[in-house]
Structure 1
Amino acid sequence: MRKILLAGLIVGIGIVLTGCKKELERINKNPNEPVTAQPDYLLSNGIKANVDTYWGENAAMETSLLYIQYWAKIQYPDPDRYIPASSAIQSIWSNFYAQGVQDFTTLAQLGDSLHHPNYKAVGNIMRSWIFQVLTDLYGDIPYTQAANIDQYLTPVYDPQQVVYTGILTALKGASKDITLTGNPILGDSLLRSNMLRWKKFANGLRLRVALRIADRDFATAKAVFEEVAAEGNVLLESGDEDVKLNYLTSPNQNPVGRNRETRNDYRISKAVVDKLKSLNDPRLSIYAALPRDTNVIIGVTNGLTADSASRLGFYRTSDIGAAFTASQSPAYLFTYAEQLFILAEAAQRNLISGNAAALYENAVRAAFKQYGITGPAVDAYLTQPAVVYDAAAYKRVIGEQKWLALFGEGLEAFAEWRRLDYPQLKPAYTGVLSGAVKIPVRLSYPSSEQALNGANYKAAVSRQGPDLLTTKLWFDIY
């Protein structure tokens, strides 16, 4: 009898507590707070947050821009010597997954549930772009089980090949989902709700990823180029069709401009200055600023010690040009010039039919036009022996010109340099890496993954190779 009474008492207490909990939840609900996220707010916030990460301090200024030798450090040089801060590595991973993959997955799901194909398509395009950046940086990453924490608290790492092919499938589907008439979207600060431009962006990313995997999986890469052609080659055209975020004044300023409000420890790299000077490249005065105390553009050698760097002086070396450091400087995600370089290489490698030399020349012209340079100066530039297209050395000519064209886009330039192996950069002067590879070719995984997702982290490392900056990724075959 006592047991029955005790059991009844426990059940009764449970019911009371459950009722109290429900009552508290009802009382604490904010009547002005929407239960379901609004797609336009998700989109506008997602674009700004993730482009900030892409062009920001950790993913660009403290890592990829230094590795690719666009920028150098004149103060606090450890990152320029290949000693990245663990907080920087963690921030890139956390921001892209939490603010990027999660938000754009939610946007795509909302588009599906609201029967709004364009929100679904845009969510999947931006999600795919972020996954491309993540796998380019780290290699094997959580993909198929990502952004589903209710079901997969510790997601598996998918091999890089699986990630790239998954991205290609998602982008193809997104391109087909887009409706050009009706279903307008709001909150689009990137392409101003122009769905034709979103389709072109999706297709451009498909070609980018296809070329990324061409050394490993030529058949799949060729199939992608053929699919895009069969769908009408809906790609960027000349004119102002670059995919870029036009920043505003504070608090919506360019992250490089925000950085310059409180810091002055970056300079343009000597490597890119020397290359621009050797080619009499008119972009030199755009990419670099004149030092205050001299009338000569001077780049800084990557990887100097703190003493050596500081002795150069803040006012005798060149900062990055205002086109990149001003508060309202745009952040590029994909350009018409890059697309033409992709098509030039694709023609050279028989991924498409076309005149590789003509496409390459048009790519160089588009890269100059991006900064307002046209006419005789570009004509003369293209006649130089080091610039003229050479089919037998296409990796060199395309690699070097693409490197110059992507200036500022550290993450994409870092991936293309690893794939093409041009330009041939010298390691940082006092770089700490040893072995055959002395410039980083990836980022290491954040320490949080080892602590919170240890089994899947270990499986990825076992498959991919040591979790080091020098471990080459699947796509980086040469």
Structure 2
Amino acid sequence: MKFKYITILSGAALLSVASCKKELSRINQNPNGSEVAQPDYLLTAATKATADTYWGVANNMDASLLFAQYWSKIQYTDPDRYIYASSAFEELWTTGYTKGIGNFNEIIKLADAQGNSNYKGVALVLRSWVFSLLTEAYGNIPYKQSVNIDQYLTPAYDSQKDVYFALLDDLKAAQAALNPSGKAIGGDVIYGKAAGNIALWKKFANSLRLRIALRIADREPAKAKQVLDDIKTDGSGYISANAETAQFVYVNSPNQNPVSNLFDTRDDYRISKTIVDKLFALNDPRLPIYASKTQDATPQNYVGLPNGLLVGDASGYGFTKTSKPGTYFRGANAPAVILSYAESLFDRAEAAARGFTTEDAASLYQQAVTAALLQYGVSATDIATYLAQPAVQYDASNYKKSIGEQKWIALFGQGLEGWTEWRRLDYPVLQPGPAATLNGKLPVRFIYPGSEQTLNKTSYNAAVASQGADALTTKLWFDVN
């Protein structure tokens, strides 16, 4: 009886607590605030958060722009020598999953609840982009279980192949969801100001499908070709003009481009000697756009700094005698380019060169180079002169070299994308700097965030056992050669 009496009292207490919680929940509701997230606000916030980390310091300026030898460092040169702490690569992971994928997952749920398939299609496209950034940086990543984090607090990692295949399915689903005649959406900061923005999202989705198809082309050529056949059948087309480039356009402070924000207070980056030398060799009219003139007069006006130097050696080149990145890229309003018209054309040229389509690879390559130059306002006369050079003309016997080198130049500023394309196509040929620390190798992946070893150790260990050592030099599945 005593036990029964205690049980009854305990039950009454629990009911009382539950009742109080319900009452407190009602009391603490904000009568002026929304209890349900709004998809337009989520879309804007998630897009900007991802663009900021994609274009910002940790993943772009202090990593991939250095790896692809677009930029170099004249101070604090450890990243340019490939020396990183275990926490160095946290940002892409945490921002990608929490502020990016988490919000896009919520938009998808809201879209289904509200019957607006266009929100779902846009969220699937952007979520696929974020997942692609993650797998191309780290390799195996959580995908299946990461879309339901409430159920899986320590999600398992999926293989890169499985992630890519899933993304291709997601993008196909996005195509089906996107309906130019359907309900309007708000919060679209990529195509929102354009007429027919949903039709542009369909083109972006197809261009991203094409990009991913080429990622798997060396491993799964049949699957890659099938994707392109599906795109052709779909009929929505690809990004087909510079005005259709998928990009996040920044505004003034405090929402300016992250590169601009950094250069407001710091001066430790220069343009790499590697790309300056290439631009000089090709008489490339983009040199004064990509690089700034040296502060002090120099014979060539534009001087790149070699990558991978010790601090003393780097500063010895002179702060006023080496070139910063161009003012275009340091401008507050410079866009974070996600997928350009030029890239779409380069990708179509490669698909044709691989025999995946019946298009003319040489013509598409020439159109791609032209679009890349027009992107920065180069004149038609200068474009014609540039294209006439033997070193620029398309070489069908080595399409990877022709496309790889010109695409690398065109992707300047897009560190993560340029680095991935260099790993995939193996052009241009890059060499580590003299004080680099990877025994003559360049980084080919990010190391997993240190927090994963603590918070998700079992899944982390399984990923490393499957993929290889958690090291900068471990090649990823897509990186065949």
**TM-score normalised by length of structure 2:** 0.97
Residues 62, 84 of structure 1: 8 Å contact kept: no
Amino acid at match of 1:151: Q
Match of 2:467 in 1: 464
Once the two structures are TM-superposed, the CA of residue 29 in structure 1 deviates from its matched residue by: 2.1
Residues 63, 84 of structure 1: 8 Å contact kept: no
Match of 2:136 in 1: 136
Q: Aligned residues, how many?
A: 476
Match of 1:360 in 2: 365
* Deviation digits for residues 28-59 of structure 1 (CA, Å, limit 9, x no counterpart): 22222212100000011111111111101111
* 2:219 partner SS: coil
Once the two structures are TM-superposed, the CA of residue 292 in structure 1 deviates from its matched residue by: 1.1
Match of 1:291 in 2: 294
- Between the aligned partners of 1:301 and 1:273, the Cα distance in structure 2 is 10
- Between the aligned partners of 2:159 and 2:114, the Cα distance in structure 1 is 33
The answer to whether structure 1 residue 303 and structure 2 residue 308 are counterparts is yes
- Between the aligned partners of 2:84 and 2:357, the Cα distance in structure 1 is 40
Amino acid at match of 1:74: I
Once the two structures are TM-superposed, the CA of residue 84 in structure 1 deviates from its matched residue by: 2.6
After the TM superposition, which of the residue ranges 157-166 and 28-37 deviates more from structure 2? 28-37
* Deviation digits for residues 250-278 of structure 1 (CA, Å, limit 9, x no counterpart): 11111111111111110000000000001
Amino acid at match of 1:116: N
- Between the aligned partners of 1:301 and 1:421, the Cα distance in structure 2 is 20
- Between the aligned partners of 2:372 and 2:3, the Cα distance in structure 1 is 82
In structure 2, runs of 5+ residues without a counterpart are none
Residues 242, 371 of structure 2: 8 Å contact kept: no
* Deviation digits for residues 299-340 of structure 1 (CA, Å, limit 9, x no counterpart): 110011011112222211100001111101111101110011
Once the two structures are TM-superposed, the CA of residue 217 in structure 1 deviates from its matched residue by: 0.1
Residues 288, 319 of structure 1: 8 Å contact kept: yes
1:449 to 430, 434, 452: 452
Match of 2:41 in 1: 41
- Between the aligned partners of 2:85 and 2:294, the Cα distance in structure 1 is 29
The answer to whether structure 1 residue 403 and structure 2 residue 403 are counterparts is no
**TM-score normalised by length of structure 1:** 0.98
- Between the aligned partners of 1:15 and 1:239, the Cα distance in structure 2 is 63
Match of 1:323 in 2: 328
Once the two structures are TM-superposed, the CA of residue 63 in structure 1 deviates from its matched residue by: 0.4
* 1:142 partner SS: coil
Match of 2:169 in 1: 169
Amino acid at match of 1:404: I
2:344 to 339, 346, 354: 339
Amino acid at match of 2:409: L
In structure 1, runs of 5+ residues without a counterpart are none
The answer to whether structure 1 residue 241 and structure 2 residue 244 are counterparts is yes
- Between the aligned partners of 1:35 and 1:213, the Cα distance in structure 2 is 42
The answer to whether structure 1 residue 225 and structure 2 residue 223 are counterparts is no
Once the two structures are TM-superposed, the CA of residue 4 in structure 1 deviates from its matched residue by: 2.3
Match of 1:12 in 2: 12
* 1:332 partner SS: strand
- Between the aligned partners of 2:385 and 2:236, the Cα distance in structure 1 is 31
Once the two structures are TM-superposed, the CA of residue 236 in structure 1 deviates from its matched residue by: 1.3
After the TM superposition, which of the residue ranges 23-32 and 109-118 deviates more from structure 2? 23-32
After the TM superposition, which of the residue ranges 244-253 and 399-408 deviates more from structure 2? 244-253
The answer to whether structure 1 residue 50 and structure 2 residue 50 are counterparts is yes
Amino acid at match of 1:160: Q
- Between the aligned partners of 1:78 and 1:341, the Cα distance in structure 2 is 34
Match of 2:199 in 1: 196
Residues 242, 340 of structure 2: 8 Å contact kept: no
Once the two structures are TM-superposed, the CA of residue 354 in structure 1 deviates from its matched residue by: 1.6
Once the two structures are TM-superposed, the CA of residue 25 in structure 1 deviates from its matched residue by: 2.2
Residues 79, 85 of structure 1: 8 Å contact kept: no
* Deviation digits for residues 283-309 of structure 1 (CA, Å, limit 9, x no counterpart): 001000011112411111001101111
* Deviation digits for residues 114-140 of structure 1 (CA, Å, limit 9, x no counterpart): 100000101111000000110000000
Amino acid at match of 1:465: G
* 1:301 partner SS: coil
- Between the aligned partners of 2:182 and 2:348, the Cα distance in structure 1 is 32
- Between the aligned partners of 1:389 and 1:252, the Cα distance in structure 2 is 40
Alignment of 1:26-175 (within 5 A): 26-175=26-175
* 1:72 partner SS: strand
* 1:158 partner SS: coil
Once the two structures are TM-superposed, the CA of residue 383 in structure 1 deviates from its matched residue by: 2.0
- Between the aligned partners of 2:149 and 2:33, the Cα distance in structure 1 is 23
Match of 1:256 in 2: 259
- Between the aligned partners of 1:47 and 1:395, the Cα distance in structure 2 is 32
- Between the aligned partners of 1:15 and 1:225, the Cα distance in structure 2 is 60
* 2:60 partner SS: helix
- Between the aligned partners of 2:437 and 2:32, the Cα distance in structure 1 is 54
- Between the aligned partners of 2:365 and 2:423, the Cα distance in structure 1 is 20
After the TM superposition, which of the residue ranges 377-386 and 48-57 deviates more from structure 2? 377-386
Residues 428, 439 of structure 1: 8 Å contact kept: no
Amino acid at match of 2:451: S
The answer to whether structure 1 residue 379 and structure 2 residue 384 are counterparts is yes
- Between the aligned partners of 2:180 and 2:421, the Cα distance in structure 1 is 32
Residues 309, 434 of structure 2: 8 Å contact kept: yes
- Between the aligned partners of 1:49 and 1:59, the Cα distance in structure 2 is 13
- Between the aligned partners of 1:160 and 1:368, the Cα distance in structure 2 is 33
Amino acid at match of 1:251: P
* Deviation digits for residues 352-383 of structure 1 (CA, Å, limit 9, x no counterpart): 00211111111101100000113221112112
- Between the aligned partners of 1:181 and 1:7, the Cα distance in structure 2 is 61
Once the two structures are TM-superposed, the CA of residue 65 in structure 1 deviates from its matched residue by: 0.3
Match of 2:354 in 1: 349
Once the two structures are TM-superposed, the CA of residue 233 in structure 1 deviates from its matched residue by: 4.9
After the TM superposition, which of the residue ranges 251-260 and 28-37 deviates more from structure 2? 28-37
Instruction: Work out the percentage of aligned pairs sharing the same amino acid.
Output: 51
- Between the aligned partners of 1:239 and 1:254, the Cα distance in structure 2 is 20
